[in-house]
Structure 1
Amino acid sequence: MIFRLGELFCGPGGLAWGATHADIGDPNFKIVHAWANDYDENTCRTYQRNICHNMPGSVYHADVRKLDLTQFTQIDAFAFGFPCNDYSVVGEQKGMDGVYGPLYSYGVKVLKLYKPQWFLAENVGGLRNANDGKAFTKILDEMRTAGYKLYPNLYKFETYGVPQARHRIIIVGIRNDIDVEFKVPSNKPYAKVDNTCRNAIEVPPIPKDAPNNELTKQSPTVVERLSYIKPGQNAFTADLPEHLKLNITGAKISQIYKRLDPEKPAYTVTGSGGGGTHIYHWAEPRALTNRERARLQTFPDDFVFEGNKESVRKQIGMAVPCIGAKIIFEAILKTFAGIPYESMPANIEE
């Protein structure tokens, strides 16, 4: 069974890479790209280059609110990582009241229009708490009303071998008339994977001519500040001399000038980069390159990001880790193929 995949809010292609590389040992069950959409032009160019270079016209660069959703080809599967800005615990948490909060509804419209056999929706863990939990309940209700059985779970990707602490809600939906039940893939097979950030960045060494690997320039003050910050520390936990301390009142975000701990997975890769929010190397007095950040998101080195350095940083930070996505898509394929796989109980009650 070949599943043709459509995507809204496709990002640079982390989900798509995982989908199109999902392999369960049966060539009759695989996922192929059908079409995708994102509002950012560089992101669309990245997706075209890496996911569907032979079908560039299948990627629609448009604001989803102005997009004709009826124009696409028929699909069997659908994925949408709807924008998380209003659900993130770092932001103002406006939830449904924000600009981005209601955008999930365009994914629900696609479900009603095309009735794919299954879908995968992704968002931040903070989604559960937005609007006192009402936003998550409303989203699930609308997905159910569209005709789907739902299997939500908070995936902690570092427990699946990803070299980064990244917690995301993934909702798998299977159409009501299809008699299969999805189970959350177990993380036990990945317990012995070396997912330290040191291993991810250094093994194998990044080629000198790797794309998107330009060094970030650091000011002398930042270099001096980093010299006092030990691996795992940030600007507030390190013992800094007075002239290097940050004069910040209110919330002290733990990722400000935070160095990686080389013996642990990285902290969450985000799209931000100003004011000390780059991810900082554990030994060298510098921020990571975009290629190093891409490795923490498990993108292969031959995955080339389009756009300037800042655009690429945002694309990488907003993506779903390729390997994490692949694991979940393979579980979906096995579900449809009737192949048993090791599973574990979902941590979000339906």
Structure 2
Amino acid sequence: MTRPAWDWRLSDLSAVPQHGRTVFSCFSCGGGSTMGYKRAGYTVLGNVEIDPQMMRLYKKNHNPRFPFQMPIQEFKLLPASQLPKELFDLSILDGSPPCSVFSMSGQRDKKWGNEHKFREGQAVQRLDDLFFDFLDVAELLQPRVIVAENVTGMINGKARGYVSLVLSRLRSIGYRPQLFLLNSATMGVPQKRERLIFIAARNDLNFPLLKLEFNEPPVLYGDIQGGEGKPLKAGGVTYQRWHKRRPVDADMGDISLRHEGKQSSFNTRLMRRGKVANTLLSSSFYVRYDEPCRISDTDIIRLQTFPADYDFMDADVQYVCGMSVPPLMMQRIAEQIHEQWLSK
């Protein structure tokens, strides 16, 4: 019996037909994008990652030929003589610049242009600069295609001006950019994760416009649910709220507003077997609607379409998955880039 696409193993990659196209990944985290490219038949040569814990995970699970553990600001300044020649003949330069300053939660505008200490590498950085650091790398390496993933908050409000600057920068370094708003639930991923995908082809290649349309049937939470979740503390606030839930409630905030007169714990989501799960975030809490417990690590791994044999070592499973691109999402995008462009 054929397993569903979200139920897979790293060992399955050995059976994927290879077409020889190459990828280098920036801001690689645990390698969600990397696994997507590999599932689509690409060879991922290496990565740039600032976070030592994420780099240990990446090396353990992906065995890169050319790993660079350093800030991208340092990587882009390396002399060409210190870079592998293969990086100057890339099919795709991939990157997911850390994007928390563009999230729609909190007072995001006040974070722009300032240095803050973020979890990414435990370093003080200006995260709104990182996209342009990534494009500096693209200008240096001149890959055939550039792929960058980010949150949908970039096209809301004042952030739209930032997107215009990104698109202008891509054009100035010799690329024709396209911008896609994609929902992973249409791509076989068991969650409604909306993301912006920047895809740019080098001008001299004269590729036609890329078309991305995905209409795969939804995968419900009940389809992937498995394993035992951590029980809610009996008598605790969340436990009490859970017992007051109604079918219309999406999160604990709905319950607290109804019974306590104020919204609290809205980042504690209720997961229903008959619905597609909401976006898996690294810092939110997810509670099963039909039993008083948090979702299991098995649930998290399947929701993010990570492989069942991924070695998380000492890292938190939800953090790694929530910070990553779902491999199945990137696989679908990478397949179309190869089919419509690179295979020609």
Q: Normalised by the shorter chain, which TM-score bucket?
A: 0.7 to 0.9
Match of 2:240 in 1: 224
**Structure 1 residues 308 and 230: CA distance shift in structure 2, 3 A:** farther
Of residues 16, 23, 35, the one that matches 1:5 is 23
Q: How far apart, in 2, do the equivalents of 1:49 and 1:124 lie?
A: 28
Q: How far apart, in 2, do the equivalents of 1:156 and 1:125 lie?
A: 10
Match of 2:45 in 1: 34
Q: How far apart, in 2, do the equivalents of 1:246 and 1:113 lie?
A: 56
SS at the partner of 2:158?
helix
In structure 1, what residue type is equivalent to 2:240?
E
Whether 2:93 is the aligned partner of 1:86: answer no
Structure 2 portions without partners, runs of 5+: 1-18, 115-125
Match of 2:279 in 1: 268
Match of 1:210 in 2: none
Identity %: 22
In structure 1, what residue type is equivalent to 2:96?
G
CA contact (8 A) 2:33 2:330 kept: yes
Match of 1:15 in 2: 33
**Root-mean-square deviation over aligned CA pairs:** 2.5
Whether 2:155 is the aligned partner of 1:128: answer yes
CA contact (8 A) 1:123 1:169 kept: yes
Q: Cα offset for 1:253? A: 6.8
Match of 2:7 in 1: none
When normalised by structure 1's length, the TM-score is 0.79
Q: Cα offset for 1:219? A: 2.5
**Aligned pairs, number:** 304
When normalised by structure 2's length, the TM-score is 0.80
Q: How far apart, in 2, do the equivalents of 1:49 and 1:197 lie?
A: 29
CA contact (8 A) 1:43 1:306 kept: no
Match of 1:152 in 2: 179
Match of 2:12 in 1: none
**Structure 1 residues 135 and 239: CA distance shift in structure 2, 3 A:** closer
Of residues 195, 212, 219, the one that matches 2:219 is 195
Match of 2:308 in 1: 301
SS at the partner of 1:286?
coil
SS at the partner of 2:156?
helix
In structure 1, what residue type is equivalent to 2:134?
G
In structure 2, what residue type is equivalent to 1:218?
L
Q: How far apart, in 2, do the equivalents of 1:319 and 1:113 lie?
A: 25
Of residues 232, 245, 251, the one that matches 1:234 is 251
Match of 2:9 in 1: none
Residue by residue over 1:65-112, the C-alpha shift from the partner in whole angstroms, topping out at 9 and shown as x without a partner, is: 344543432331210001111111113223742421111111111111
Of residues 19, 34, 58, the one that matches 2:66 is 58
Q: How far apart, in 1, do the equivalents of 2:255 and 2:198 lie?
A: 39
CA contact (8 A) 1:6 1:34 kept: yes
Bigger helix fraction: 2
